[in-house]
Structure 1
Amino acid sequence: MNKLFYPAVFHKAEEGGFWVTFPDFPECFTEGDDMPQAYEMAVEAMGLALKSRKKEGEVIPQPTEIDKICLDDGTLVIVEFDMLEYQKKHNSRAVKKTLSIPEWLNEEATAMGVNFSQVLQEALMNKLNISK
């Protein structure tokens, strides 16, 4: 579930710019002074909506098929959301983990000046097929 693609409707605002709604996330809306800013804000708003739903244990909906969206006004835009990039940007605080390794391995690694946190992070990213 790293990259998600959801339809959004970009509406022209009377005072200029755009306001954005999501058919699959009725609680999610945003705005921007121009199309690039509105798109950027749409990505951030979608991230907040997904994070909130995940935290509350709510279902993450499948994207509505574009031919099923009725547009009274506005322009349909597909918003790409990269969950991994969002998490890296917004959830980068360190979390303390307690783990156990054999004493002999600890002694060897300590003698070599190994940074345990860095090694664990690299090993986890390798295991999960995540690149920096």
Structure 2
Amino acid sequence: MEIVSYPAIFQQKNNQIEVDFPDLPEAFTQGKNMETAMEFAKLGLAITLNDKLGHFEKAPQVSELAEVQAAHPGAVVKMVTVDLEQY
């Protein structure tokens, strides 16, 4: 198992929930509700990190959850956790 967790910002926009990863902007995704947004966030995180690692790039350092929350007041900030070996 290769478990990783990164903070993500969930914001309601245009009838969608957009998901941004401050440490991995290329993992941006969205969903029609929080449940699908979280599932797509897990998928986007796993694909992005596996791609980086597959190209011998280092995974970015994980930002502190409290720092991300402080930088985005009013947004929902959650840790997204995946097992990279499942993707």
TM-score in same-fold range (> 0.5): yes
Residue 50 (structure 1) shift: 0.5
- CA distance in 2 between counterparts of 1:64 and 1:39 reads 18
Query: What percent of counterpart residues are identical?
Result: 31
Query: Are 1:83 and 2:84 matched, yes or no?
Result: yes
- The structure carrying a bigger strand percent of its residues is 2
User: What is the match of residue 9 of structure 1?
Assistant: 9
Query: Which residue of structure 2 aligns with residue 19 of structure 1?
Result: 18
Partner residue of 2:38?
39
Alignment TM-score, normalising by the size of structure 2: 0.87
Q: How many residues align?
A: 85
Q: State the 1:73 CA deviation.
A: 4.6
1:96 aligned residue: none
Instruction: Name the CA distance, whole Å, in 1 between partners of 2:2 and 2:51.
Output: 17
Q: Does 1:59 align with 2:87?
A: no
Which secondary structure state, in structure 1, belongs to the residue aligned with residue 27 of structure 2? strand
Alignment-mate amino acid for residue 77 of structure 1: K
SS of equivalent to 1:45: helix
Question: Runs of 4+ in structure 1 displaced over 4 angstroms?
Answer: none
Q: Which has the higher contact order (CA 8 A, sep 6+)?
A: 2
Aligned-partner Cα distance in 2 for 1:5–1:26:
15
RMSD: 1.5
Q: How far did 1:74 drift? A: 2.0
Distance 1:9 1:76 in 2: 5
Q: Flag structure 2 segments of 5+ consecutive residues without an equivalent.
A: none
Instruction: Give matches, 1:100-119, under 5 Å.
Output: none
The letter of the residue matching 2:36 is Q
> What is the TM-score of this pair, normalised by structure 1?
0.59
The structure with the largest alpha-carbon Rg is 1
